[in-house]
Amino acid sequence: MQHRSRYSSGAKWESIVGYSRAVRVGDRVYVTGTTATDETGEIVGGNDAYAQAVQCLRNIERALKAFDFTLENIVRTRMFVTDISRWEEYGRAHGEFFRDVMPATTMVEVSKLIDPEMLIEIEADAEA
């Protein structure tokens, strides 16, 4: 079995639910569903779908840096959104971060996320 390394963001849900923000196994990093929270756990962006997507991606970038990975290592993202009609706002943020990387991606509408103020949650898979 390959060595497993974990990264914690310190979010209150990690210890309650029993997960890591990101896990590295070999040349791959798996970043769990990431929301628009800041270092204190407060939601960033209010009802601004674009701003929340940007914060999610910055949080993913921070997790990747813990393993010396960058956004350019991402091969797949998954976006879970509470209102798919706002896809252009989410997509604009995603495009600004990944226009040159062009990972495989999915955007799916869900009925709700863990906090009613959260509009988007993004997962990412990266490879060295």
Residue reference for tokens 């979010």: 11
The domain limits of the chain are: 4-127
In the prediction, which pLDDT does 119 show?
Answer: 98
Looking at CATH, the fold of the domain delimited by 4-127 is given as 60s Ribosomal Protein L30; Chain: A; (3.30.1330)
Nearest by Cα to 52 from 128, 115, 104, 126? 115
CB atoms within 10 A of CB 66: 16
Q: Is residue 68 very low, low, confident or very high in pLDDT (cuts 50, 70, 90)?
A: very high
Distance CA 112, CA 106 (A): 17
On the question of pLDDT at 49 being above 90, the answer is yes
Predicted TM-score (pTM) of this structure: 0.94
Distance CA 22, CA 92 (A): 24
Task: Give the gyration radius of the chain's Cα atoms.
Answer: 14
Tens of pLDDT, residues 28-44: 999 999 999 998 889 99
CB atoms within 10 A of CB 121: 20
Mean pLDDT value across the chain: 95
